Amino acid sequence: MNRQQSSGPSQRMLRVGEQVRHALSDILQRGDVRDDLIETTVISVSEVRMSPDLKIATAFVAPLGSKDDKAVIEALNRNARFIRGRMSPALRQMKYMPEFRFRLDTSYDNFSKINELLHSPEVARDLGHDENDKENDE
């Protein structure tokens, strides 16, 4: 019996990723991690992607108001084992506590680039031309 390979994550991976994201957000919000850089930075956890075996959790975070995003990511990765230990009570239903990896979330930058492109004069001209054609057709 062959299983079809799906291109996206399974329902279980998505559900566990969301549980891990909530628990991680709670830990960062409470200030459990004793690192000056992490304590003084507001960190938004936008997504947690789980590996298929649920043993690796890759957290995409966005440090808000920080001048050096790389330093915040490095600080989180340095404290990953401590964070993993603090997550145990929130994720006690899991057989294995996942290993944490932190990555910079660049999706907000991508959204702003797309928004900037959509509002550029060339695209606005093309969109305006299409709207005029629709009005003339009616």
Cα separations (Å) of 89 from 24, 31, 77, 97?
Answer: 12, 16, 20, 10
Cα separations (Å) of 80 from 28, 34, 39, 49, 102?
Answer: 12, 12, 15, 15, 8
DSSP secondary structure string for all residues of 110-127: HHHHHHHHHTSHHHHHHH
Residue 79 has a pLDDT of: 95
- Give just the sign of the alpha carbon dihedral 97, 25, 13, 110: negative
Predicted TM-score (pTM) above 0.85: no
**Cα(84)–Cα(77) distance, rounded to whole angstroms?**
11
Residue 129 has a pLDDT of: 53
Name residues of the chain where pLDDT drops below 70.
1-6, 129-138
Residue 136 has a pLDDT of: 52
Q: Chain centroid to CA 62: how far?
A: 8
Residue 83 has a pLDDT of: 94
